[in-house]
Amino acid sequence: MALKQIGMGDAVGVELVDSPLLVSLGDPHNLPFFDTVFDLGFSVNLDQALFPAWLLGSWRKKIGGGGGYVVRGGCL
């Protein structure tokens, strides 16, 4: 939601707990999207992921060439 407010209209949030105004229900470790559909992966809670390496591997499949990741400082 916050990303949409700053002009990223196609931003999608995924979390294990549904919160319709902020994120969609889904497993961040196994993202329910086609491969290479995103330009950017962003996490503020990577340190709280059950399996951080698995989560990043899932992101890697979904982020297209030339894309990247942003992990908030202090997560690990």
pLDDT in tens, 14-50: 878 877 777 778 888 888 888 888 888 888 778 888 8
Find the angle CA(48)-CA(45)-CA(57) to the nearest 5 degrees: 80
For the chain, the domains span 2-71
Q: Residue 38 pairs with which residues in a beta bridge?
A: 63
Joined together, the tokens standing for residue 29 give 């470790």
pLDDT in tens, 55-75: 888 888 888 888 888 887 554
- Give the total residue count for the chain: 76
